Chains A and B, each alone.
Chain A
């Protein structure tokens, strides 16, 4: 069984690094903006294997919507490129390996706007 735990340990600061990288080609870069991005998570998560997550934004010109989690092996859980006519409103069900923080980010030409919420997970869903 050696190696399994090490494989699933998240890299320290991986979400922060991912946000910076994702915002790098925009004018403002990564900006925390809870008033422009709304992330909805269940209040209590009993089973981390299936966690509904919704992201909405009031910004116009949203090109990408991202869901990140700092307790998972890889920081980005899901990534969406929005085509013409799609509202900045996406829901997806993700896995969370344990308790931690979930992040939602939307990218426009101006910046990567993000927000985060705490997730209380009773049973982790990655292994």
Chain B
């Protein structure tokens, strides 16, 4: 199965740029299918990023975030080899998490 959370990081100018891609349909519940039936809402409500178990980012997402949410942010200082952990939860109560080692 495809990884549903991808984490990439790059060390640059004294900090670390991090990209997190979360594969998710992010259905708003406002769309209808070809037969005019409403497509049920299915979207990530929140995502949390920790570095070495310290929370660095809490994101509240929702129906206005595009399919496959991509978050890009910058850590001003992070030790090489730090563990970055991402977890999300959606409106159906599903949860996913992933861990990566920082560049």
B and A form one assembly: yes
Q: What CA separation (Å) do A53 and B75 show in the bound complex? A: 19
Contact A86 B28 (CB under 8 A): no
Q: What CA separation (Å) do A77 and B61 show in the bound complex? A: 7
A83 in contact (CB, < 8 A): yes
Q: What CA separation (Å) do A96 and B69 show in the bound complex? A: 14
- List, in ascending order, chain B residues with CB within 8 A of A83's CB: 54-58
B2 in contact (CB, < 8 A): no
Contacts A1-B36, A69-B64, A78-B62 given; indicate if A93 touches B69 (C-beta within 8 A).
yes
Contacts A84-B54, A90-B71 given; indicate if A72 touches B78 (C-beta within 8 A).
no
- CB nearest to A47 among chain B residues: B66
Contact B60 A90 (CB under 8 A): no
Q: Convert A68-83 into 0s and 1s, putting 1 for each residue whose CB lies closer than 8 angstroms to a CB of B.
A: 0100111011111111
Question: Which residues of A79-122 are within 8 A (CB) of B?
Answer: 79-87, 89-95
Interface size on B, residues (CB 8 A): 32
A125 in contact (CB, < 8 A): yes
Q: Helix, strand, loop or mixed for chain B's interface?
A: strand
Contact B66 A94 (CB under 8 A): yes
- List, in ascending order, chain B residues with CB within 8 A of A84's CB: 54, 56
- List, in ascending order, chain B residues with CB within 8 A of A8's CB: 30
Contact A73 B30 (CB under 8 A): yes
- Give residues in A with beta carbon < 8 Å to B: 1, 4, 7-8, 49-51, 54, 69, 72-74, 76-87, 89-95, 125-127
Known: A82-B56, A83-B57, A95-B66. 15 other contacts (CB 8 A): A50-B67, A76-B60, A78-B59, A78-B62, A79-B60, A80-B58, A82-B57, A83-B58, A84-B54, A91-B71, A92-B69, A92-B70, A92-B71, A93-B66, A126-B63
